[in-house]
């Protein structure tokens, strides 16, 4: 798990430099490491079968303290700082031992990809990143790769040890969406079909409830979920267009019932209050906390010729010839089936089905958005080769809610992973032999 921030990197380095040099104990705890009769260095910290010398430990503490931001250091006592540092060193040694036991391996390709990601996030090339790290931390490329490898290893260990325990339910996401909406006072356009409760004893009301619900269900189906038409077909039912309401200002039970519905949906169960049973319909809603995310969606077909790396000019000539044939009246589907090098779409005459602009190559998306409906585009190039595109239908779709839910799922998963990992480290410490001399 690689952090994008260089600041995090600097702090994490302090728990990785030198600790890697922790010495293997040959037999049980030792108070010194000797060469002949001369004491080389005292052992300061023992974690299971590994030892850290006093000079190594002191160096670790000094390096960490030098990197703590002054504003944070001012809030911590010396004892607190030392405890934080020692806890980090101990945790790292325990993690390293667990990684070895789990036989977690990291490849050079994974390290290269992680370095490229960190560099990209900081708008640097990998070479520029290495220079910056060397200048600001004194680390060479080999040491930096070792740090990255260790962070990837820890991420893989987390996934292996606690990843399977992390499960995010739809209800958790729904609860978070509702909380955000209430906090931000998001707006939502609501309609209400109210059916007053009959003035009868609870036993009689229970007997008639299923019949009433069946009548309402049939009326909604017949009216295609038009509450006004459905209300007119049900005795005593009343329709009310509530207009745009503030989620933070309506009763809690109503907010919980509607906040996770999409535009056009009706509450699957009625909301009951003193007035009766309310069937609420979301006419329109805003995306809570995420802003609008509207994307073009098109039903399209294409013809693809993959660029010949040995003779790219020939590919361009071929796509121009195909374009000329189409302009002269050739059938698009037949040409696609015969010449297109996209095997999945070629068998259906180049048909791509519905495609979202944010799921394709940027140049392909641009053509998809701007192409006149029903007309072929001139040949254009993407990372996949040369295309001719035919857009048959196009409309915009609002994926704001989906984007928000994906973001919430990711955040909840990270929090759950962190909590599970902390519990694992506590258990690891509980079962470890730790001695600070």
pLDDT in tens, 355-414: 888 778 888 989 999 999 999 999 999 888 999 999 999 988 776 677 667 777 777 887
pLDDT of residue 33: 40
Number of folded domains that form the chain: 3
Same domain, 92 and 232: no
Distance CA 111, CA 115 (A): 6
Judge if 62 and 85 occupy the same domain. yes
Do residues 350 and 326 share a domain?
A: yes
Assigned domain for 18 exists: yes
The Cα–Cα gap between 91 and 109 comes to 27
Q: What is the pLDDT of residue 181?
A: 61
- Alpha carbon 39 to its chain's center: 53
Residues 6+ apart with CB under 8 A from 18: 56, 59, 60, 63
Q: Is 26 helix (H, G, I), strand (E, B) or coil?
A: coil
Query: Would residue 221 count as lying in a domain?
Result: yes
Whether residues 149 and 225 fall in one domain: no
Give pLDDT < 50 ranges for the chain.
Answer: 1-40, 287-290
Q: Say whether both 310 and 248 belong to one domain.
A: no
Could you tell me the residue range of the domain that residue 220 belongs to?
A: 187-285
Residue in the structure block whose two tokens are 């294409």:
302
How big is the CA angle at 332 (ends 326 and 335), to the nearest 5 degrees? 85
| Residue 52 placed within a domain | yes
Residues 243 and 343 in one domain: no
10 Å Cβ neighbour count for 237?
21
| Nearest one of 247, 254, 242, 245 to 181, comparing CA atoms | 247
Q: In degrees to the nearest 10, what's the CA dihedral of 152, 157, 160, 164? A: -90
| pLDDT tens digits for range 218-230 | 888 888 889 999 8
Element (H, E) at 426: helix 400-430
151 falls within a domain: yes
Do 149 and 200 reside in the same domain of the chain? no
Q: Give the three-state DSSP class for 77.
A: coil
191 token code pair: 């309609």
Residue 24 in any domain: the answer is: yes
Quote the tokens at residue 163.
């990843």
User: Are residues 94 and 221 part of one domain?
Assistant: no
Strand 38-47 and strand 434-436: the pairing is antiparallel
Asked if 258 and 181 count as a contact pair (C-beta separation under 8 A), the reply is no
**CB atoms closer than 10 angstroms to residue 323:** 19
Same domain, 57 and 128: yes
Residues 278, 328, single domain; the answer is: no
pLDDT given at position 113: 87
Rounded Cα–Cα distance for residues 159 and 156 (Å): 5
């Amino acid at each position: 798990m690689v952090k994008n921030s260089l600041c995090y990197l600097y702090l994490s380095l302090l728990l990785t430099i030198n600790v890697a040099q922790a010495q293997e104990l040959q037999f049980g705890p030792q108070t010194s490491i000797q060469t002949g009769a001369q004491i080389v260095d005292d052992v300061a910290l023992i974690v299971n079968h590994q030892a850290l010398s006093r000079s190594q430990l002191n160096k670790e503490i000094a390096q960490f303290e030098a990197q703590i931001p002054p504003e944070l250091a001012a809030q911590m006592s010396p004892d607190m700082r030392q405890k934080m540092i020692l806890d980090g060193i101990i945790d790292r040694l325990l993690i390293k031992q667990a990684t070895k036991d789990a036989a977690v391996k990291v490849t050079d390709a994974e390290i290269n990809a992680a370095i490229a990601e960190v560099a990209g996030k900081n708008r640097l090339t990998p070479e520029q990143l290495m220079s910056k790290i060397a200048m600001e931390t004194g680390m060479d490329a080999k040491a930096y790769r070792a740090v990255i490898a260790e962070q990837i290893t820890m991420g893989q260990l987390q996934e292996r040890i606690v990843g399977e325990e992390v499960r995010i339910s739809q209800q958790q996401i729904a609860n978070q969406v509702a909380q955000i909406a209430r906090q931000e006072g998001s707006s939502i356009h609501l309609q209400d079909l109210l059916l007053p409760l009959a003035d009868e004893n609870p036993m009689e009301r229970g007997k008639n409830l299923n019949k009433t619900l069946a009548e309402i269900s049939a009326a909604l189906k017949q009216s295609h979920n038009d509450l006004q038409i459905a209300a007119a077909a049900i005795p005593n039912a009343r329709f009310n267009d509530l207009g745009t309401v503030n989620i933070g200002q309506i009763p809690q039970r109503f907010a919980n019932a509607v906040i996770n519905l999409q535009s056009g949906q009706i509450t699957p169960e009625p909301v009951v209050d003193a007035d009766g049973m309310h069937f609420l319909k979301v006419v329109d809603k805003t995306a809570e906390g995420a802003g609008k995310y509207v994307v073009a969606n098109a039903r399209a077909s294409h013809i693809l010729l993959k660029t010949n790396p040995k003779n790219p000019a020939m590919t361009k000539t071929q796509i121009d010839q195909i374009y000329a044939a189409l302009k002269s009246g050739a059938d698009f589907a037949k040409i696609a089936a015969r010449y297109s090098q996209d095997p999945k779409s070629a068998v259906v005459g180049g048909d791509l089905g519905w495609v979202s602009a944010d799921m394709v190559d940027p140049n392909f998306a641009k053509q998809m958005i701007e192409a006149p409906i029903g007309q072929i585009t001139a040949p254009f190039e993407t990372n996949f080769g040369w295309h001719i595109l035919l857009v048959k239908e196009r409309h915009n779709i609002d994926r704001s809610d989906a984007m928000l839910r994906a973001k919430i799922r990711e955040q909840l998963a990270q929090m759950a992973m962190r909590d599970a990992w902390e519990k694992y480290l506590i258990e690891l410490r509980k079962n470890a032999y730790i001695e600070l001399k």
